[in-house]
Amino acid sequence: MKRKISILGSTGSIGRQALEVIEKLNDKFEIIALTGGSNTELLNEQIKKFSPKYAYAANYKDITGAEYATLEEICSNKENDIILVAVSGRIGLKPTITAIKNGINIALANKETLVMAGDIVMPMAKEYGVKIIPVDSEHCAIHQCIKDIAQVDKLIITASGGPFLHKTIDEMKNATVDQALAHPRWNMGKKITVDSATLMNKGLEVIEAHHLFNMPYDKIEVVVHPQSIVHSAIEYVDGSVIAQLGLPSMHIPIQYAITYPDRFEGIKSKSFSFSQIARLDFEEPDWDKFKALKLAYDAGKTEGSATVCLNAANEEAVFAFLKGKIKLFDIINTVEAMMEKHDVVKNPSIEEIFCIDEEIRAKSRELFLKF
Ligand code: MG
């Protein structure tokens, strides 16, 4: 039986790599729907190659070869066995909720879903018997390590440290967009690459891990590991540590998520050699230089709408940085200023979450004018 899958965000970095995996495992998958944003040329190529029944794009008139369906329609189509949510930004949240309510398993690559609404999404997935399978390499690693969550005492999330790991704070303050986008290990979209430079990405991953594995924040540790070979680890109550290792490649966690619980050769990276890798380094994050990480922990521990505020201020500031409107450290200054002023709403509804998100973005844009 082929596994029926839809990919939200098939033209993005994760979506394209997912299709490379599916191409390798073409006897295992049938694609129900593909969706893209503004890159209709690539989406049309993908439709031609993979023949989905349905497709969605912002400019649908430019799409040929598949029937039109909205994200909501795609996510309520019970033909799907699994939906890979690989869109970036808040746009991923509502379709994910729709898929959960329709009992469809989720391979989750969209960070905002859990950062903005983890307290709603995870209990809902439990209620509907839906699996949320993480795609991010760190959470995928933890997912692979855990046998019985009740016996796990600590999660250890690794961070490559990004392009500024060995730069001074001053060098980082004056970094250009190109420098921030020059990630030493991973080739990803622009937003997540800037987040990896400030370590906000790691902060968002800590919040996601808290929700995915129901682990308190003081039991989630971040360690800098520049080689990106150990993708994350867990420590059991008896002190035993289990880590997942592999060469840095997103194909592996994507493939694991969409084929779970099976494993296939698929796109196998070259065979792993400890002796060739020779050494693995680990160090504590520099909390002054990577203040974003501390802000993310603070927001997570505050709970309620604090993580919505953190995410909205950060995303808006990253976009402004990419447009050359603000400096790299102004991203952190924005998040800090917004969090200081934010009146936390306990247990916000989805509607309240979107309202707060909108409000924080508007306030952040006002703040940029002052930098
Ligand atoms: Mg990651």
Phi-psi region of 10 (alpha: psi -120 to 50; beta: other; left: phi over 0): alpha
The dihedrals phi and psi of 222, each to the nearest 5 degrees, come to -110, 130
Centroid of ligand 1 to alpha carbon of 244 (angstroms):
14
Tokens 């693995």 locate to: 280
Centroid of ligand 1 to alpha carbon of 136 (angstroms):
5
Centroid of ligand 1 to alpha carbon of 205 (angstroms):
7
Residue 62's pLDDT band, with cuts at 50, 70 and 90, is confident
* pLDDT value at residue 268: 81
* Distance (Å) of CA 284 to CA 167, 176, 183, 233, 267: 15, 26, 19, 15, 33
Centroid of ligand 1 to alpha carbon of 66 (angstroms):
32
Centroid of ligand 1 to alpha carbon of 355 (angstroms):
28
Centroid of ligand 1 to alpha carbon of 94 (angstroms):
22
Percent of the chain with pLDDT over 70: 100
User: 220-269: per-residue pLDDT in tens?
Assistant: 999 999 999 999 999 999 999 999 999 999 999 999 999 999 999 999 87
Q: What is the DSSP letter of 103?
A: T
Q: What is the DSSP letter of 167?
A: S
d(CA 306, CA 298): 9
Centroid of ligand 1 to alpha carbon of 342 (angstroms):
27
Q: Which residue has the higher pLDDT, 213 or 62?
A: 213
Centroid of ligand 1 to alpha carbon of 284 (angstroms):
17
User: 83-131: per-residue pLDDT in tens?
Assistant: 999 998 899 999 999 999 999 999 999 999 999 999 999 999 999 999 9
Please check the confidence at residue 187 and state whether its pLDDT lies above 80: no
Instruction: List the structure tokens of 335.
Output: 């998040």
Closest CA to 194 of 208, 177, 170: 177
Residue 39's pLDDT band, with cuts at 50, 70 and 90, is very high
Please check the confidence at residue 283 and state whether its pLDDT lies above 80: yes
Centroid of ligand 1 to alpha carbon of 181 (angstroms):
15
Centroid of ligand 1 to alpha carbon of 1 (angstroms):
31
Tokens 């890798």 locate to: 277
Give, as residue ranges, everything with CB less than 5 Å from ion ligand 1.
Answer: 136-138
Residue 60's pLDDT band, with cuts at 50, 70 and 90, is confident
The dihedrals phi and psi of 132, each to the nearest 5 degrees, come to -105, 105
Centroid of ligand 1 to alpha carbon of 147 (angstroms):
21
- In degrees, rounded to 5, the angle at the alpha carbon of residue 261 between the alpha carbons of residues 107 and 240 is 100
Instruction: List the structure tokens of 337.
Output: 């200023």
Pairing label, strands 230-236, 241-245: antiparallel
Centroid of ligand 1 to alpha carbon of 188 (angstroms):
10
Centroid of ligand 1 to alpha carbon of 196 (angstroms):
9
Pairing label, strands 3-8, 82-85: parallel
Centroid of ligand 1 to alpha carbon of 222 (angstroms):
12
Q: Where exactly are the structural domains of the chain?
A: 3-134, 139-247+279-302
Burial tier of 325 (Cβ tally within 10 Å: 0-12, 13-18, 19+): middle
* pLDDT value at residue 270: 80
Q: Where are the alpha helices (DSSP H) in 199-349?
A: 200-212, 251-259, 274-277, 291-302, 306-322, 328-341
Centroid of ligand 1 to alpha carbon of 142 (angstroms):
12
User: 122-164: per-residue pLDDT in tens?
Assistant: 999 999 999 999 999 999 999 999 999 999 999 999 999 999 9
Across all residues in the chain, what is the average pLDDT? 96
Please check the confidence at residue 213 and state whether its pLDDT lies above 90: yes
Contact 220, 206 (CB under 8 A): yes
Please check the confidence at residue 300 and state whether its pLDDT lies above 90: yes
Closest CA to 282 of 143, 156, 189: 156
Please check the confidence at residue 24 and state whether its pLDDT lies above 80: yes
Please check the confidence at residue 188 and state whether its pLDDT lies above 90: no
Centroid of ligand 1 to alpha carbon of 135 (angstroms):
9
Centroid of ligand 1 to alpha carbon of 51 (angstroms):
30
Closest CA to 198 of 304, 318, 299: 318
Centroid of ligand 1 to alpha carbon of 59 (angstroms):
30
Tokens 């009740």 locate to: 150
Pairing label, strands 67-68, 82-85: unpaired
Domain 3-134: CATH architecture, name and number where available: 3-Layer(aba) Sandwich (3.40)
* pLDDT value at residue 59: 80
User: 357-370: per-residue pLDDT in tens?
Assistant: 999 999 999 999 99
d(CA 205, CA 135): 11
Please check the confidence at residue 335 and state whether its pLDDT lies above 80: yes
Please check the confidence at residue 186 and state whether its pLDDT lies above 90: no
- Predicted model pTM: 0.96
* pLDDT value at residue 252: 95
Closest CA to 111 of 296, 288, 291: 296
Centroid of ligand 1 to alpha carbon of 138 (angstroms):
5
Pairing label, strands 82-85, 132-134: unpaired
